[in-house]
Amino acid sequence: MENKNNLSWPKCWKHSSKPHNFCPGCGHPIILKQLGHTIDELGIQSNTLFGIDIGCSLLAWNFFNVDTIQTHHGRTIPVMTGAKRSKPKMVSIAYLGDGGAYAIGMQHLISARIRNENITVIIVNNANYGMTGGQEAPTTIPGQITATTQSGADEFFTKGPELLSGASESPAYIARGSVDNPIQLKGFIKKAIEWQMTGKGFSFVEVLSFCPTNWRTDAKATIEFMNKLKSIYTIKEFTKENK
């Protein structure tokens, strides 16, 4: 059943693992809550394998009453690929940070897109490496101060959904949402998983997320930095449909 007001906890929430271990103000719990509601609404709790990567995303290893497996360095994508190919009727969701997806595990992400693997990949983009102490990420924006760009980051950064859209001619569900619009985000996640469930192939959601701990921002500055990210990373659906 659709949860219109989005206020209650998802039914697939694992209560013994709460309160969770994410930092105060972190965007992960917002994303996970939307994912939880989506799992409830689609009725896939018993049929989903949730793969989690290294970095802050791994703190979600016991977040849900959903079967999980955890690894590192973007290898979550091949793990979920192997699992999905072996058990095509299950729902396969890979949950990674921007480092695992766009740097150390980029070949897996691009290859999953090009081979049109029937899995859903959710990438959390918070413009830095959170768990290791706020170093530069592939998504760090020009001028951003991080632990490894102390005088400001260079002008190069990675636009995942745009890259994946161009990486193949085959149709795919690709979107970028953000944690400051959870209702819209849930819509994207739901469409992505439904895309997989109808056997259409690769689906992907990048989520712009808060990291006040490493951004060193208070609530107001967090929202301001999010707006800055949104001015660079367009929120939209990049979906490629069959012509």
Partner 1 sequence: MSKELLTGNEIIVRAALNAGAQAFFGYPITPATEIMAEWDTFYEKNRNNLLFLQTEDEMSAGFATIGAVVTGKKAFTATAGPGNILMQDAFSMAEAMQIPIVAIIGQRGGPSTASVIYSQQELTLTAFGGNGEGYRIVYSPSTIQELYDYTIKAFNTAWKYTTPTFVLTDGYTLKTRTNVEITRPKNLEKSFPMVLKSNKRGKKESEYVNLRNTYSVEEECFKNNKTLIEKWNKIKSQIEEHEVYELNKSKKDTLIIAHGNVASSAKQALYDTKKKSVKLFRPITVNPFPINALKKELKGIKQIIVTESANNQLLKLVKENLYGLNIPIKTYNKPALGITPEEIIELIKKNK
β-pairing, 67-70 with 48-52? parallel
Q: Of 73-81, 120-128, 139-147, 235-243, which part binds partner 1 (CB under 8 A)?
A: 73-81
CA 47/CA 200 separation, integer angstroms:
18
Q: Which is nearer to partner 1, 102 or 157 (CB)?
A: 102
Q: How far apart are CA 181 and CA 185, in angstroms?
A: 6
Q: Which one among 35, 39, 56, 70 touches partner 1, defined by CB under 8 A?
A: 70
Nearer to partner 1, 109 or 185 (CB): 109
* Inter-residue contact 12 to 43 (CB < 8 Å): no
| Pairwise CA distance, residues 168 & 159, whole Å | 15
78 part of the interface to partner 1, by CB under 8 A: yes
Query: Rounded to whole angstroms, how far apart are CA atoms 20 and 233?
Result: 28
Give the one residue of 20, 25, 41, 72 binding partner 1; rule: CB under 8 A: 72
Q: What part of residues 109-138 is at the interface with partner 1 (CB under 8 A)?
A: 110-111
DSSP code per residue over 107-131: HHHHHHHHTT-S-EEEEEE-SSBTT
Residue number with CB closer to partner 1 (24 or 43): 43
Among 34, 38, 68, 126, binds partner 1 (CB under 8 A): 68
Binding residue for partner 1 (CB under 8 A) from 1, 2, 15, 19? 15
